[in-house]
């Protein structure tokens, strides 16, 4: 099936940043958005909410759990059959595990979703991304300033407090930086850009701290810079850790 639109896969698209990104891209009318959702029922509900907006873009559901290689392989096969290529991959799915008392368990789960998942997904879609002829073909890994090692030592850093240690999340996002750096080299021969971006502290389902009362910004505001990145407006800053305010973080 050829839609003439940019084929864009978003993981964790049934809520938060992923859902809002899908909504903003559909409003442009130039994307066919693949809603990656670990839960088929939540994914179907999200798709129905998006379709109710009656935007000019199109969307469909992809059952995709980034920690499950079976669903990854099935997603690759589905997209290959239905579209023959993939133009944009947004690795947005993430977990926080704040307050988890079993640190080993939290480390394992955060790494599997936040770092290993994007690594596996990127390489699984390497061939389909390589077939893209879209000038904006790319992978965007949604990260966090909490994963910046250099930023940890900034005395002006704003940190969320009162929620216990969040090292599983922080360490997994630091690992995502290395995944992004390595994949930027690996995908360059295909003409596929790989960028790492931090949305800032945003309202989401990531954890109990991502609330307005804690200072989190509205998701619609957080996502606008990501849309600009997908449109190539920050391509001159490749190979850096892009921040939400138009700047960059130290790795």
Give yes or no: 169 in active site: yes
All residues at 6 or more sequence positions from 99 whose CB lies less than 8 Å from its CB, including other chains: 163, 164, 207, 208
From 169, 193, 217, 248, the catalytic residue:
169
CB 73 within 8 A of CB 66: no
How many helices (H) and strands (E) would you count in the chain?
A: 9, 8
All residues at 6 or more sequence positions from 152 whose CB lies less than 8 Å from its CB, including other chains: none
Give yes or no: 173 in active site: yes
Pick from 87, 250, 68: nearest CA to 177: 250
* SS3 assignment for 23-50: HHHHHHCCEEEEEEECCHHHHHHHHHHH
CA atoms within 13 Å, Cβ hemisphere of 108:
4
From 5, 105, 173, 248, the catalytic residue:
173
Rg (CA), the chain: 17
Give phi and psi for 203, each to the nearest 5: -60, 125
- Enzyme catalytic residues: 169, 173
């Amino acid at each position: 099936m050829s839609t003439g639109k940019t084929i864009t896969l978003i993981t964790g698209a049934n809520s938060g940043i992923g859902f809002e990104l899908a909504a903003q891209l559909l409003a442009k009318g130039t994307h066919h958005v693949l809603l990656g959702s670990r839960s088929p029922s939540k994914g179907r509900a999200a798709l129905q909410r998006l379709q109710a907006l009656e935007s000019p873009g199109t969307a469909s559901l992809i059952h995709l759990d980034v920690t499950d290689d079976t669903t990854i392989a099935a997603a690759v096969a589905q997209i290959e059959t239905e579209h023959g290529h993939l133009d944009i991959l947004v690795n947005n799915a993430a977990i926080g595990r704040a307050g988890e008392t079993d640190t080993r368990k939290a480390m394992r789960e955060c790494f599997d979703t936040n770092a290993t998942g994007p690594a596996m997904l990127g390489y699984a879609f390497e061939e389909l991304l390589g077939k893209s002829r879209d000038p904006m073909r790319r992978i965007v890994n949604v990260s966090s300033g909490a994963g910046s090692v250099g930023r940890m030592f900034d005395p002006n850093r704003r940190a969320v407090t009162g929620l216990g240690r969040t090292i599983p999340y922080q360490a997994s996002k630091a690992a995502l930086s290395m995944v992004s750096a390595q994949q930027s080299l690996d995908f360059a021969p295909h003409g596929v850009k790989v960028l790492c971006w931090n949305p800032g502290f945003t309202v989401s389902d990531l954890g109990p701290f991502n609330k307005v009362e804690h200072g989190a910004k509205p998701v619609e505001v957080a996502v606008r810079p990501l849309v600009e990145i997908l449109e190539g407006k920050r391509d001159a800053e490749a190979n850096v850790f892009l921040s939400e305010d138009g700047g960059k973080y130290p790795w």
